[in-house]
A and B are shown apart, each in its own frame.
Chain A
Amino acid sequence: MAGSSIELMSENIDRMTDEIRIIKAARQDPKVFGELYKLYVEQVFRYLYSRIGNLHEAEDVTAQTFLAAFESFDKFRQDGHFASWLFGIARNKAMDHFRLRDRSTHMDGFSEIPTEDNTLARMIKTEQEEALSTLIQALSEEDRELIRLRFLADMSFPEIARFLHRNEEAVKKTTYRLLARLHSQLEVSNE
């Protein structure tokens, strides 16, 4: 068969315009939840991998996230904020995962940038990316989470603000300040 039946079946939709329609349809036919899954699976996986740092465990927690979301979907009502709700589950699942692994260093949600020797997962990084990786590891967990949500989970500023219970403008300013800081630190490290 073709590489991915999901990909082939996928009706390519604008996430924001059709999401509410899909959510309503999914309430009536649980199988339509699969459309939401297709919309978000990559972002959730990227977010979780960045926290967990292991391909198979990130996949496992991604699967758990969507199964939990599927189970509790009938209780989800605020149709305009699906991403915040879903990533809330993903974050909790990641925490559960760390608890189960009894890795106390991760109990506060901290996770190092992935460095595992996994041929499937390993990516070739440029010098700049390696340097960035080191700089991001040095950030506070709060700042690192912001980076993850913005650039791996692909969340908009309003979604991040809702997810973190913070003011949208403050989130935006913090993000840009972080970028500026990383940028300047990178320049220093390259000198």
Chain B
Amino acid sequence: MNEKYSTPQFEESIRKSFGVPEIRSKFVDEVYSDLMQQGVAKSRKARPFLGLRPAWTVTLAIFSLMIIGTLVIGPQRVYAEFLKLFGYIPGVGIVDQSSPIRVLAEPVSVTRDGITVTVTSATLTGDRTQIEYRIFGVPGSAYPDREDIVGCMQREYLLLADGKQLAQINYGYEPVPMSVNEAVFVIPCISGTLPGKSPENWELPLRFVPAPPDLTVMPVTELSPSPQVTLTQNATGNGTSVPSVDNSVTVSKVIETSDGYILIGSFQPQSKPGESFQQTGAMEIHDASGKKVAYTYPQDVNEAINQEPGGTGWAAQFKAAGLVYPLNINFSGVHLLPSASDATAQFTFDAGSNPQPGQVWDLNQQIQLDGHTLTLVSITANSQRSYSFNFQVDPKVYSVGVQIEGFTPIGGGGGGGGGLTNGKFSTSLVYAQLPTGELTVDIFHMVLIGDSITWQGQWSPATPRTDLPANPTLQSGLCLTADSLTQLQPAPSTVANGKALIYEKLDTGTWGLAVYNLDGRQKQVVVPNGNWGALSSDGSQVAYSASDNGIHIVDLASLTEKVLPGAGGFNLHWSPDGTQIAYVGMGDGVINSVFVITTDGTPARLISDLSYESIIGWSPDGKLYFVAPYTGGAAWKVYSYDLASGTTQERFTIENGTPKFLNPMLSPDGKWIAYRGRDNSSLYLVHPDGSDMHLVLDNVGAVGIAWTSSGWLGVSIGTDDPYVQKVLLINLDTCDSYILNGLHGQLEGLVIK
């Protein structure tokens, strides 16, 4: 009845009355960079001295000392002393060694109401205190049962005997004074829990001792000036190249690790006023023989990366055996150029009097603009009072501006991509109220893709390594490395005889589940819009989590679908006989806990209430394996549940798994658990009793995991295209490995006949 007051003009006045300024693009970029580079960073804190972070304060002081020292004792000795001041401790990062390093004397645990908090390690240096701790046993009832309610977010701190509190700084806690060897680690409340639902004010007394002589502290070498670098511009289409000197890619720090190096540097493209670039791919490293060097991103050097100028730091850790120097560090991109003319185009479309969210107008409107052909494929009305304009353009076009005459948008996204993204891009315009009726649309400000560019830096070690074998043998149990992926052969038809369940972007543009033959043929779209698929062991049914969180089962022969009443969740696992499904769901005061439901629809049964669990799978002897995460530490405790007796058994702890998406999978014979490693890329195997844990795929970008009853391990691995994965088959007995070239999505299920 009062909706008449909700006019676009009035709503816009309300917005403006708050006086909110435009968000600064520099700020947006900086935070984005932080998110990408320092996932573990906690919060921004005041910078104490000249606006510098504590570590920089120390650095500045050290540089001052160097200058004075140079004058007194000469440059060579000062440089040698300087190198000793910083060291790299794996898992901790780059630390100041100007004062003796101390560590935790022994782990400390406190248990209250069934919840155990353990401080497992501490590293004390002149610039910070690194504390590693973990919590286990927090009941699901301690967390909000609705995830839009946010529980405790108070930060832990160190309390000294004199009452001083050492707060968190970006990478750890404030340093403990050298004269202090005891402190209390205080956790005001367990992160995310509701008030009064779990014990609060935890206090763990810590004792610190000098680091043992065998503590691994690797020297950090500062490079100055940075190495020789070049820029190569390739004029698109004619293959010519124009190398020139450039300082866009630099290497500033080198850490020599036991099997290779960590390089830290910056990427700041040198540009002239008015020049624009678009980076088109991830950093690549090649050695002098042209071999691509597989690298990982070392999370523990985030602070050093963020200290690179302009917040454009990068880091790479790689193995050095067999590499030929110099290494070339490349970033690729293209020039972006505004169209030479101010050409505009115009067309009309009728949105009707009441456009609905999700409504699509298929237009296929051809537009000629300054000699380029653009097709406006469709316009979509979105639930956020916006229209999306979906274009298909020729390879030279990057983007165009769009506006609806007579209507001022309040937001929107500057879509781009065009020739860099298979000719497709979209632009959205958000309005206070969606424009209706016959609309006139202006197309203008075309941006074109110019020459491609490769920014290149070079690096060689100061002295060759003599401690690394030229052709190292793979460690026991390791079947594939990033290097060996390129040598994989297609799976022979004798092997590739079966079905795979793949989660992928479908032809309709939505993300769903499809079943393929292993050669990529006979695609059968099973779920046009759903995820968390699971293929039954006989390959006849697919269970999935629908958008309403309900669990659905599709029979592949008839494509009939049924819903399991009362069940809602994800992470689905079929029992070996296909009569039950284990899943992670909510209800009965638990949050993301393990349930089992029979496929005939009898009520679901709660198996565990430890919260935030993941299912590993069913063993042939009637046990259901699952993991529960420790809070505050990247570790997972493995349990088995005997369905016959209803008893749960604690098995062991996975210490080297990723905290993000462990994706553990039990082999059908119950002998192995496969899971993703801490680097979010490698794959490990371990027996269900915790024995024989070993690396099987090293830094290959493993994501999807599926076993077959015939003993094959299927793994889908990420590629440079975030929408595409490759699917591999590995025989663990022989390490015979193949690629399934017809499959391009995330593996969610596998059956081989």
Residues of A within 8 A of B (CB): 1-17, 20-21, 24-25, 27-34, 37-38, 41-42, 45-46, 49-50, 55, 59-60, 62-64, 66-68, 70-78, 80-81, 84-85, 88-89, 91-93, 96, 113-115, 120-123, 125-126, 128-130, 132-133, 136, 147-148, 151-152, 154, 156, 162-163, 165, 173, 175-177, 179-180, 182-183
Q: Does B179 reach chain A (CB closer than 8 Å)?
A: no
Of listed B21, B191, B584, residue having the most chain A CB within 10 A = B21
Contact A11 to B32, CB < 8 A, known contacts A20-B547, A77-B570 = no
Measured CB to CB, the nearest residue on chain A to B151 is: A92
CB <8 Å contact, A11 and B421: yes
Partner of B16, one of A67, A125, A180: A125
**Closest Cβ–Cβ distance, residue B149 to chain A (whole Å):** 7
CB <8 Å contact, B35 and A67: yes
Q: Does B452 reach chain A (CB closer than 8 Å)?
A: no
Partner of B34, one of A7, A67, A74, A120: A67
Main secondary structure of the interface of A (DSSP, over half): helix
Which of the segments B76-84, B276-284, B687-695 contacts the partner chain?
Answer: B276-284
**Complex contacts, B660 vs chain A, CB 8 Å:** 27-28, 30, 73-74
CB <8 Å contact, B13 and A129: yes
Beyond contacts A28-B661, A121-B19: 18 other A-B pairs, Cβ-Cβ < 8 A, are A1-B275, A2-B278, A3-B276, A4-B28, A6-B28, A9-B278, A10-B415, A20-B531, A21-B511, A30-B39, A42-B23, A59-B24, A85-B150, A125-B16, A152-B20, A162-B146, A176-B3, A177-B2
CB <8 Å contact, A163 and B19: no
Contact A68 to B661, CB < 8 A, known contacts A12-B388, A85-B147 = no
Chain B residues with a Cβ closer than 8 Å to the other chain, count: 93
Give the docked Cα–Cα distance between A184 and B279 (Å).
Answer: 52
**Complex contacts, B277 vs chain A, CB 8 Å:** 1-2
**Closest Cβ–Cβ distance, residue B141 to chain A (whole Å):** 15
CB <8 Å contact, A60 and B14: no
Q: Does B116 reach chain A (CB closer than 8 Å)?
A: no
**Closest Cβ–Cβ distance, residue A119 to chain B (whole Å):** 10
**Complex contacts, B336 vs chain A, CB 8 Å:** 2, 8
CB <8 Å contact, B20 and A49: yes
Q: Does B428 reach chain A (CB closer than 8 Å)?
A: yes
CB <8 Å contact, B31 and A37: yes
**Complex contacts, A132 vs chain B, CB 8 Å:** 13-14, 17
Of listed B5, B25, B592, residue having the most chain A CB within 10 A = B5
Measured CB to CB, the nearest residue on chain B to A50 is: B18
CB <8 Å contact, B39 and A5: no
Partner of B21, one of A9, A73, A75, A123: A123
Give the docked Cα–Cα distance between A28 and B428 (Å).
Answer: 27
A-B CB contact pairs (8 Å), 22 listed: A2-B336, A11-B415, A11-B426, A12-B413, A16-B382, A20-B547, A29-B718, A30-B39, A38-B32, A50-B20, A71-B42, A73-B660, A77-B570, A85-B150, A88-B150, A122-B19, A122-B21, A123-B20, A154-B430, A163-B148, A177-B2, A180-B2
